[in-house]
Structure 1
Amino acid sequence: MELLSHFITVFLGFFAIMNPVANTPVFLALVGEQDRDTQKVVARKALLLAFAITCCFCLLGNTIFHLFGISLPAFRLAGGVLVALVGYQMLHGEPSSVQQPSRGDAQSARESSLSIAISPLAVPMLAGPGTIATAVNYAASGDLRETILVALAFGLLCLVTYGFFMLGNQLQALIGKNGIKVITRLMGLILTVIGAQLIIEGVKGAIN
């Protein structure tokens, strides 16, 4: 019973950080105009990569940062810049071929969508500084059982997030293309603010 209670605590901690509810409109804004098969591939690729990255940090923890000479503030700064740039483009209605492909650019658009699964979806949105820090904090002081529990909790969250992403297609059908454009700009604003917040946290961490 105590183990189950701890599992729920870890899961809710990850849920609050990764927030699949908030990430679903972002996912739609990035690949909402692609066909459903491409959306599924992008979602699976992003979530599998996020799961793999988080598991690595569960197992190795701070060793990875020390090995490459990377600090968490530096990770926050880099992630913040990347998120802010993506948000800026979305806010000003400057989609790449991923959002508005030309007739002869369908294959290029699909390839661009698959690359989006790696960045910014997997890193830093899903497996960002907050998620990694949470994984390290939960797994660092525990034994192998604790590490497995953390990995399972995050794996469950990835399945839940995939469900949210797939249900997002129904939302797209409900609100239409104009609604998606509005959401794109709103999410662009939110992403820009999130990126700025990550940069602020990174600067604070570097100074302290």
Structure 2
Amino acid sequence: MENLITFCITVFTGFFAITNPISNMTVFLSLTQGADKKTKDDINKRANIIAFIIVTVFVLLGKYIFELFNISIPAFKITGGILIFYIGFEMLQSKKSDVKNIKHVNIDENIAVSPLAIPILAGPGTIVTAMNFVSKVEVLHIILVIAIFGSMSLITYYTFKMSDLIVKVVGNNVISVIGKIMGLIIAIIGTGMIIQGIKISFNLITS
């Protein structure tokens, strides 16, 4: 039971850091600027549902994707770790990650699919993180990962829904600091994945 609780906390922390609803809230506000309340809510709802479906598909089919493309777990962990570390490092530098940064977007409901769902909410970093959590686990752990990302999608939905109020109360400076903290957590997760990949490659894992 204690291991399951630790696993759940680790997964939630990882997803919270990589999806970063508070920081991405400002992206949502800028993309939906000028839209009425109903349109904003429709975009918000659709984006989170699509992101949840994408991550769930990768969580459930990740093993088969590995087999299809002959991807080894160490290679996946090292490559994914580098990618996640890079995103976190850019957040620490107060830059928008090139992996997520979209410069020109038409303000219509299609932004729910791109760029909101892909790549902002379910980008490479989120998918890599999700697949890393289920790369060598039991069915129960897979169900927990899906459930935790579902709860993360709900948190993101309500954060976006209350985005105008949150920015007024908290202020942009505090949101910027939170973004840097999330960046540090993401970079640490990436480093941990790289270390795990190297240990598995050289059979350094101890029971």
- TM-score by length of structure 2 reads 0.68
Question: In the alignment, which residue of structure 2 is the partner of 1:65?
Answer: 66
Q: How far, CA to CA, are the matches of 1:98 and 1:122 in structure 2?
A: 11
Change (3 A) 1:128 1:180: farther
RMSD: 3.6
Q: Does 1:16 align with 2:9?
A: yes
Q: How far, CA to CA, are the matches of 1:80 and 1:98 in structure 2?
A: 14
In structure 1, the gaps of 5 or more residues are 1-7, 140-148
Identity %: 23
Q: Does 1:132 align with 2:134?
A: yes
Amino acid at match of 1:123: I
Q: How far, CA to CA, are the matches of 1:75 and 1:68 in structure 2?
A: 11
Q: Does 1:44 align with 2:49?
A: yes
Q: Does 1:194 align with 2:170?
A: no
The SS at the match of 1:94 is coil
Q: How far, CA to CA, are the matches of 2:65 and 2:100 in structure 1?
A: 35
Change (3 A) 1:81 1:182: same
Q: Does the CA-based 8 Å contact 2:15-2:149 persist in structure 1?
A: no
Amino acid at match of 1:70: I
Change (3 A) 1:99 1:83: closer
Q: Structure 1 residue 88: deviation in Å?
A: 1.5
Question: In the alignment, which residue of structure 2 is the partner of 1:176?
Answer: 171
Amino acid at match of 2:158: L
Q: Does the CA-based 8 Å contact 1:80-1:195 persist in structure 2?
A: yes
Change (3 A) 1:64 1:92: closer
Amino acid at match of 2:20: V
**After the TM superposition, which parts of structure 1 deviate over 4 Å for at least 4 consecutive aligned residues?**
8-14, 36-39, 96-102, 149-155
In structure 2, the gaps of 5 or more residues are 30-39
Q: Does 1:159 align with 2:164?
A: no
Q: Does the CA-based 8 Å contact 1:28-1:180 persist in structure 2?
A: yes
Specify which structure has the higher proportion of helix.
1
Q: Does the CA-based 8 Å contact 2:99-2:124 persist in structure 1?
A: no
- TM-score by length of structure 1 reads 0.67
Q: How far, CA to CA, are the matches of 2:99 and 2:190 in structure 1?
A: 21
Q: Does the CA-based 8 Å contact 2:85-2:187 persist in structure 1?
A: yes
Q: Does the CA-based 8 Å contact 2:99-2:119 persist in structure 1?
A: no
Change (3 A) 1:119 1:155: closer
1:10-58 deviation line (CA, Å, top 9, x unaligned): 985763342068606723323533135444444322221111112224x
The SS at the match of 1:32 is helix
Q: How far, CA to CA, are the matches of 1:101 and 1:71 in structure 2?
A: 31
Q: Structure 1 residue 132: deviation in Å?
A: 1.7
Q: How far, CA to CA, are the matches of 2:101 and 2:78 in structure 1?
A: 30
Change (3 A) 1:96 1:41: farther
Q: Structure 1 residue 87: deviation in Å?
A: 1.1
Q: How far, CA to CA, are the matches of 2:155 and 2:4 in structure 1?
A: 16
Amino acid at match of 1:185: K
The SS at the match of 1:178 is helix
